[in-house]
Amino acid sequence: MNKPVLSNKSAVILGLALVIGLSALGLLIGKAGVDYRQFERSVAVKGLSEREYPADVVIWPILFTEASNDLPKLYTLLDQRIATIQSFLEEKGFKTEEITVSAPAITDKSAQQYGGNNGAQFRYTAEQSITVYSVQIDRVREVSRQLSVLGKQGIAFTGNNYQAQTEYLFTRLNEVKPAMIEEATREARAVAEKFAADSDSVLGKIKRASQGQFTIGDRDKNNPHVKKVRVVSTVEYYLSD
Domain 41-55+171-241 has CATH 3.30.110.170: yes
- At position 149, the amino acid (one-letter code) is V
Q: What is the pLDDT of residue 17?
A: 59
DSSP of 24-93, one letter per residue? HHHHHHHHHHHHHHHHT-EEEEEEEEEEEEE--EEEEEEEEEEEES-HHHHHHHHHHHHHHHHHHHHHTT
Going from N- to C-terminal start, the domains of the chain cover 41-55+171-241, 57-169
Q: Would you give the DSSP letter of residue 223?
A: -
Nearest Cα residue to 58 out of 173, 155, 144: 144
pLDDT tens digits along 172-211: 999 999 999 999 999 999 999 999 999 899 999 999 999 8
CA angle 71, 74, 78 (to 5 degrees): 145
Nearest-angstrom CA–CA distance, 135 and 145: 18
Q: What is the pLDDT of residue 31?
A: 39
Output the CATH code of domain 57-169. 3.30.70
What contacts 44, CB < 8 A, 6 or more positions away? 234, 235, 236
Q: What is the pLDDT of residue 14?
A: 59
Q: What is the pLDDT of residue 44?
A: 92
Q: Where does the pLDDT of residue 35 fall: very low under 50, low under 70, confident under 90, or very high at 90 and above?
A: very low
